[in-house]
Amino acid sequence: MPEQQQIRVMIVDAHRIVLSGLKRLIDDEKPRMEVVATASQRDTALELVHKTDPHVILLDVGLLEESAPQFVMDLVNASDRRVLILGATKGNHHELAILHGACGVVRKDESPEILLKAISKVHDGQLWLDRSTTGRLFVELSRRKSLVQDPDRRKIESLTSREQDVVRTLVTRPGADNKTLASSLHIGEHTLRNHLSRIYDKLGVPNRVELYVFAQRLGLNGQSEKR
């Protein structure tokens, strides 16, 4: 059996004591995961992310502020990197980050074991969202997406039959990782990622959260239509 891929983690936090503690926590998990870079400023983070190419970026919510969407998008940069927000118990900056490409939020009052589990799950392609955050996201998306559905219907119709199958499978299994989804569709993970990339582009959505809400709003279920 091939060895499991090591999870390369980058930590971005303005507090150096926090950086040191998080690095020690994650490096204690070697060889399963390892910290490949740390940064306390956004400019440094953007420079290091291209040099070290981490799988998961642990990002403190305090570095988001009003430029959260752009900063998260710059970190992800259309690659397979995943951003996990280390968030406060209240506030909406982490929710904005999720809407623009981040994969989840871990509250600062959670245990170290929860943080390590979240890093692993996000690396595997899953979303890490608690119930309250998910609820607020859906409310915000519904508020933003109160548009006429006809243009959205045309977007759905622009998908190929296979792409529509991918969307329906995702709706029925929103928490599944890419490997599980690909297996359900009898395709490889690389093929699935290519399908998702084209679907995001055609529907004008940035990530799986918005794709899920988009499909739910249009009533797409897990059953393929007769063709």
Same domain, yes or no, for 211 and 104?
no
What range defines the domain where residue 171 resides? 148-217
Same domain, yes or no, for 152 and 102?
no
**Residue 114: per-residue pLDDT:** 95
Backbone angles phi, psi at 58, to 5 degrees: -90, 110
Is 48 part of any domain?
yes
Same domain, yes or no, for 14 and 109?
yes
Same domain, yes or no, for 15 and 68?
yes
CATH of the domain at 96: 3.40.50.2300
**Residue 186: per-residue pLDDT:** 92
**Residue 19: per-residue pLDDT:** 94
Cα dihedral: 50, 108, 136, 206 (round 10): 10
Of 109, 139, 169, the last residue of a domain is 139
- Angular region, 193: left φ>0, alpha ψ -120 to 50, beta rest: alpha
Per-residue pLDDT of 151-201, as tens digits, reads 777 787 788 888 989 998 988 887 788 888 899 899 998 999 999 999 999
Of 101, 120, 139, the last residue of a domain is 139
DSSP secondary structure, 39-52, as one string: ESSHHHHHHHHHHH
Of 89, 105, 139, the last residue of a domain is 139
Same domain, yes or no, for 124 and 169?
no
Task: Enumerate the H helices of the chain as residue ranges.
Answer: 16-27, 42-52, 68-76, 93-99, 112-123, 131-144, 149-157, 161-172, 178-185, 189-203, 208-217
Same domain, yes or no, for 89 and 154?
no
**Residue 83: per-residue pLDDT:** 92
**Residue 90: per-residue pLDDT:** 59
**Residue 142: per-residue pLDDT:** 58
Same domain, yes or no, for 115 and 197?
no
Is 223 part of any domain?
no
| Domain count across the chain | 2
Stretches where the chain sits below pLDDT 70 are: 1-4, 66-69, 78-79, 89-93, 131-132, 134-150, 219-227
Is 61 part of any domain?
yes
* Separation of alpha carbons 64 and 68, rounded Å: 4
Is 224 part of any domain?
no
Same domain, yes or no, for 47 and 113?
yes
